[in-house]
Amino acid sequence: MRFQAEFRQISSLIGDNQRFLITSHIHTDGDAIGSSLALYHYLNQLGKAVRVAIPGNIPVKYGFLNTKKIINHTSQKNLAAFIQEAQVVFILDISTLDRLDEFYQPIQESAAYKICIDHHPVEKGWTDLLIQDTTRIATAEIIYDLLRYLKANFNSEIAEALFTAILSDSGGFRYPGTTRDTFRIAADLMGYGPDPARIYNMVYEQASVRQLRVWGRLLHKIEVDGHFSWITIPFEFIRDKQIFPEEVDGLIDLLRKDSKAAVVGVFVQKNEDRVQVGLRSKNGVDVGEIARGFGGGGHKHAAGFTVGKSLIEVVDETKIKVRIASRKVPE
């Protein structure tokens, strides 16, 4: 197991402290939520005071993990006070610290010991301890190792949270980066109750007919440049159809089905001159590097960024960067 020294340090921090905050990224996802909840249940079992605070909306489809009761489950004022008084803060799956959004400043200013655990390439920044392993498909794999190291009492809640995190970040155990360890961990977790078919259904089969129709209209507009396929979603379309960020994730999963594509992307025009871009790689092109070139973040296989430019400019610049990055990858 990697990170023995760091895990030992976390073990003594947990022993010595009482108030813990767990946080993750805005536009949150299954890995962020599942990793946070697993750690929450563990600390809760130990009788610690622990809160989970995640910026932005929590996708409703993760409600089966009891997110409503646990995440941000306190008034803004109480949460602000808790952040200020926390002794240890865990920042999970963050990729770039800006993704703490509304919690960035209060956490940076807090006197707490700050631990960042991530499978994205991430800068240590102002955190005190960084545990980073970019070979893992999900942050939850590292949390699993940590909880095993800590000799946590695995139960169905912890196992279901971790299983959901790994299943969702690996696209149902299909994306590049899914390893033998991924399956070994998933198999071990299954022993505590998670039902993969049920969890897959919760994560991937919850679209409404309205959403499917919207995706149908957008899929009509696929554009292709070599091995890059993408869809642009103009601002007016988002406004008229009321598209939510989590629906865009579903769309990018559908785009991956293009057999000729090595990289797929969705360009969401947030307003006149702000575009949010999600990229996925299928053959080893490092989309994380492309996203960082635009000031964004992510890992090799999945990344994103937001830029203040016109839709056409962003598409053109991304197209060129994908072409250049594709040349580095053997066919």
Q: Which residues bind Mn ion (CB under 5 A)?
A: 31, 93, 139, 169
Beta carbon of residue 229, minimum distance to Mn ion (angstroms, whole number): 23
Q: Which is nearer to Mn ion, 139 or 269 (CB)?
A: 139
Q: Which is nearer to Mn ion, 122 or 311 (CB)?
A: 122
Q: Which is nearer to Mn ion, 139 or 232 (CB)?
A: 139
Beta carbon of residue 304, minimum distance to Mn ion (angstroms, whole number): 12
Q: How far is CA 102 from CA 10, 105, 115, 130, 321, in A?
A: 26, 7, 18, 21, 31
Q: Which is nearer to Mn ion, 214 or 277 (CB)?
A: 277
Q: Dihedral of CA 4/5/8/14: which sign?
A: negative
Beta carbon of residue 299, minimum distance to Mn ion (angstroms, whole number): 8
Q: Which is nearer to Mn ion, 256 or 309 (CB)?
A: 256
Q: Which is nearer to Mn ion, 169 or 247 (CB)?
A: 169
Nearest residue to Mn ion, scored by beta-carbon proximity: 31
Tell me which long-range contacts 156-160 makes (C-beta under 8 A, separation of at least 24): 156/192, 156/193, 156/194, 157/37, 157/41, 157/66, 158/38, 158/41, 158/42, 158/192, 159/189, 159/190, 159/191, 159/192, 159/193, 159/194, 160/65, 160/192, 160/193, 160/194, 160/199
β partners of residue 116 = 91, 130
Angle at 204 between CA 199 and CA 238, to 5 degrees: 145
Beta carbon of residue 32, minimum distance to Mn ion (angstroms, whole number): 7
d(C-alpha 191, C-alpha 193), whole Å? 6
Beta carbon of residue 2, minimum distance to Mn ion (angstroms, whole number): 17
Beta carbon of residue 25, minimum distance to Mn ion (angstroms, whole number): 9
